[in-house]
Structure 1
């Protein structure tokens, strides 16, 4: 009987659940960040933000199961934990600011982008040469820069707060930040890997002691509750929202390609084109499922790739069990209501770290780019960064353009991504060797997780 590959290893239930829970802890802070950000942008009340959190966790668990175990032509069958992609945040905030689109328009765009992703997944490896590290690294860098102001505004108390910028708010945010930094520096093993989550717990406990947390709405929340489709209404479909989210989906699939290469390398099961296509199809199907069940596009979480490398446990069944735990957490509305009561300044201290790490990941990927012998790469990054800053520096810059273009013109990440893609094609042309591009992406991801 041939030996079982480490990816297919089954283990006793107790060890399986303990390892799976560790993965959920590493994922958790990042997983709930996007619904908190979008809930704030949409000005939703806490009970509706709790719905987003429940849906996010439940759908993320389902998509994780599909990626790990496979279903039909979906799933890479690798140790992958799935969470909402931060790439989608900027465009969705732009849509949230447009009253003609709103949350139902966001979900329409998400569903359409998932169907688009399923259609192009078999072709993505052919598209990858158009997204070398100078493009993908620029996009990740710009993503971090576009969402970093959210963490800063949280640290001040949240947009519209009457006490915005008070010493108490900033002091608590700074305390959370310092705890995270110290745990990351001094902690070992799982403590270091969940330093952001522990920092949030510290900040929340501090706010409880200071009487800064309200539990007014938690008593009315049910202990258990199913995640139902279309809880915010039937999706609506707007051309600009669909185009924006399809661009986002393309970026997510290219990013996921690098993730799968890195996971396959770490797990000792190199990814072939068939496995890649199945994984990307699951990512895309996750967006369709997410749009139906009140959440957003999914991708594999890089911090969990780092955890696999650190622990040496490569079993996909561990991550599948993590998906089951996420689904259970997703049907606990009281827990989601508790998360929704976390004060913005507590989130701000953690957000500065989380969003700053996205910037750092982009910088690290760009470190693989040849800027010495190819000055065109400098120009690509320089122009793309400036173009991405337009919505932040001059919000009315595109005010004379058609209103339906708002989701694109008001999203710095989309403007920067289109700039990087176009300039690279103009200045560098299409690389001839697709396998070399795949190798570049895998090496860049591995460096970012080492």
Structure 2
């Protein structure tokens, strides 16, 4: 008889080799290629910090120097946050390809607090909210069991649709604006999408993976040829250094910060969905009980620092998830490289200004494609949730109805009290809340009631016999 030892040894060796296989999300690539892919992420998401700071400046009547300082801080903090989420030091960051941005609902809340109570109070509200996130995180982590794939998939669809709308507004402008649906802007947006499709169709390998960036650059070149680029905004000095406490010392007011603190709960739910969908996009199995809190801690840490530089809450971005899915490049070192590029941009004034002159219609065309991919990822997740079961379909349908209402019909809650309106107008928050409540009712409470009723009937029948 032959000894089984060689077979056992070979099996153990194969198992050891399998353990040493690096997952694509942890795979390091040549530095030049990583930087190139990182620049692609930056070009797609650069419009968000730029538009957020310009909106702050226009709403609060900030001077040009302060606007440039805040823009520099936005890029630097976005870069630091991206490094934290991608590299995952200690208990901060899930080690997934994430980038971080200011903007969205937290920006609107920041502006509302600033207009009502002053900029120092708004800055203090950001810091208080970030600390509040750390305090309530242990409780929120225990509630993750109530966020199954059905709930998260519904949230991702709502997030995707909302982001597609954001990208579309960059192309069309807002209804009522003088340049709404300007034919030149519409043409640039559609042409940018067309260029992206052509590059993705014709190219292979690394060029195909860079189709999003190439499409954006081609759209920008077309805009320049048509005279739609204002190069006057590309001037300025050589360096920008973010200023600490640009609005003075923060003033901490719990009452003023309450709307932002309440929204942070919805932001945690959104971070849950983005962490799960990001992991699915890169094909990595995660433990939500540990990965999600790391994402939230990364958000909170970056927001605390950003608050002292005059920025609104910093949040993980869903934009890069679409890029990951389109390009197939799953390495978290790419978004870490994007973080380094963002920090460099924050300190180099000419680069900041050069990015800022790319027409919003071009960036919007690119964003629409990337954001639509996120919606598809949500649909794919829902497709694995056995929607043939009527209760699953009902939960999803009602949550989508409530979540999409403020997105499809802006201003629907205009007559509600301001603090309540701010929460209701967040389609993601409303959709997540409805999905969680219905999921608990149908899949936790109702089965328990039905089981007790059945047991009581069985006991009654047995006693009658």
TM (norm. structure 1) is 0.77
C-alpha change, 1:173 and 1:303, in structure 2 (3 Å) is closer
Counterpart pick for 2:417 among 389, 402, 405:
402
Counterpart pick for 1:22 among 36, 52, 55:
36
Which residue does 1:387 correspond to in 2? Answer: 402
C-alpha change, 1:153 and 1:46, in structure 2 (3 Å) is farther
* SS of residue in 2 equivalent to 1:265: coil
- The answer for unaligned runs of 5 or more in structure 2 is 1-15, 448-465
Show CA shifts across 1:357-405 (max 9, x none): 23222222211211112x1221222222221233345555434432222
Per the TM alignment, residue 158 of structure 1 is displaced from its structure 2 partner at its CA by: 5.4
Greater RCO structure (CA 8 Å; 6+ sep): 1
C-alpha change, 1:414 and 1:41, in structure 2 (3 Å) is farther
Which residue does 1:83 correspond to in 2? Answer: 100
Per the TM alignment, residue 272 of structure 1 is displaced from its structure 2 partner at its CA by: 9.1
Which residue does 2:189 correspond to in 1? Answer: 173
- The answer for unaligned runs of 5 or more in structure 1 is 433-450
Task: Write the distance in 2 (CA, Å) between the matches of 1:134 and 1:399.
Answer: 30
Q: Give RMSD over aligned pairs.
A: 3.9
Task: Write the distance in 1 (CA, Å) between the matches of 2:122 and 2:431.
Answer: 21
C-alpha change, 1:255 and 1:430, in structure 2 (3 Å) is farther
> CA contact under 8 A between 2:241 and 2:347: conserved in structure 1?
yes
Per the TM alignment, residue 179 of structure 1 is displaced from its structure 2 partner at its CA by: 0.7
Task: Write the distance in 2 (CA, Å) between the matches of 1:10 and 1:131.
Answer: 30
Which residue does 1:34 correspond to in 2? Answer: 48
> CA contact under 8 A between 2:86 and 2:335: conserved in structure 1?
yes
2:272 pairs with 1:256: no
> CA contact under 8 A between 1:74 and 1:282: conserved in structure 2?
yes
Which residue does 2:431 correspond to in 1? Answer: 416
2:78 pairs with 1:55: no
Which residue does 1:436 correspond to in 2? Answer: none
TM (norm. structure 2) is 0.74
* SS of residue in 2 equivalent to 1:59: helix
C-alpha change, 1:408 and 1:225, in structure 2 (3 Å) is same
Show CA shifts across 1:131-171 (max 9, x none): 11211111111122223333323222556653332322222
Per the TM alignment, residue 336 of structure 1 is displaced from its structure 2 partner at its CA by: 1.9
2:83 pairs with 1:65: yes
Task: Identify the structure with the greater helix proportion.
Answer: 2
> CA contact under 8 A between 2:322 and 2:371: conserved in structure 1?
no
> CA contact under 8 A between 1:143 and 1:359: conserved in structure 2?
yes
Task: Write the distance in 2 (CA, Å) between the matches of 1:264 and 1:147.
Answer: 23
Which residue does 2:143 correspond to in 1? Answer: 127
Task: Write the distance in 1 (CA, Å) between the matches of 2:222 and 2:174.
Answer: 18
Task: Write the distance in 2 (CA, Å) between the matches of 1:148 and 1:340.
Answer: 21
Task: Write the distance in 1 (CA, Å) between the matches of 2:83 and 2:442.
Answer: 42
> CA contact under 8 A between 1:114 and 1:249: conserved in structure 2?
no
